[in-house]
Amino acid sequence: MRRDRLDILADILQVIHNGNNRDSNIASKSGVGFYRFNKVYKVSLVKGGLIKIRNDSQSNWVLTERGCEYLVKYRELERLCPALSRIGGLR
């Protein structure tokens, strides 16, 4: 089943939350190409205030409070609306 943008963003946030915080690890563990992660998703997540750089490193990422809230609400929506998961709206 094909993932939509919200699914991919949630997967990336989950990977970072699990402690994988380098660009290459995030890309591979979330199933997104390295180039696409760096040029599309990382930019969106930073501009949206969902992730930030840790320790002044350009490739060491951490969730912001807003990123944690997004992930919690996304998972709650998945739980409350299992029908959306089956039709591809939330996986």
Ramachandran region of residue 8, left (φ > 0), alpha (ψ -120 to 50) or beta? Answer: alpha
User: How far from 15 is each of 68, 70, 88, CA to CA, in Å?
Assistant: 12, 14, 21
For residue 73, the one-letter residue type is K
Kindly give the confidence (pLDDT) of every residue in the chain, 91 residues in length, as a single tens digit, with 9 standing for 90 and above.
678 888 899 999 999 999 888 999 999 999 999 999 999 999 999 999 999 988 766 668 999 999 999 999 999 988 888 766 655 555 5
The answer to whether the CB of 10 falls within 8 A of the CB of 70 is yes
Domains present along the chain, CATH in parentheses:
5-87 (1.10.10.10)
